[in-house]
Amino acid sequence: MKRDAKWTGTLYRSDYGYPSVFNTYLHGGLPPGPICNPGEAALKAAVTPVKSEFLYFVADRTGGHTFSKTFQEHLDAIAAARRRDRTPPEEYGPYIEDPSAQ
């Protein structure tokens, strides 16, 4: 993101500090106003989810996804996506903690 708040398609570590009341990395809780406006199909999917063993997903830059059953598979999928993108490590987002460790 650029400092003029126009989306460039890439999120950088420096963007987590962008000064906005909508930046939930800086401000705890929900932002002021709606987060999104889901359609009817999304609402139906939320209340009647498909049963699956897949707990995690990683989106790629082409609109595709890699789904994982375990946290380790998820970390491997993230690493593979970053290798494909060749994103420099200093531009990664914050480290993802293992949710099962909480």
More confident residue, 75 or 92: 75
Q: What is the pTM of this model?
A: 0.47
Interval 81-89 mean pLDDT: 72
Locate the domains of the chain by residue range: 1-30, 50-94
Confidence at 73, pLDDT banded by 50, 70, 90 = very high
**Which class in CATH covers the domain with range 50-94?**
alpha beta
Kindly tell me the burial class for residue 84, based on how many C-beta atoms sit within 10 Å of its own C-beta (0-12, 13-18, 19 or more). exposed
Name the residue with tokens 């993108």: 85
| pLDDT tens column, 9-64 | 787 888 888 888 888 888 888 888 888 788 899 999 999 988 999 999 998 777 78
pLDDT of 92 higher than 90: no
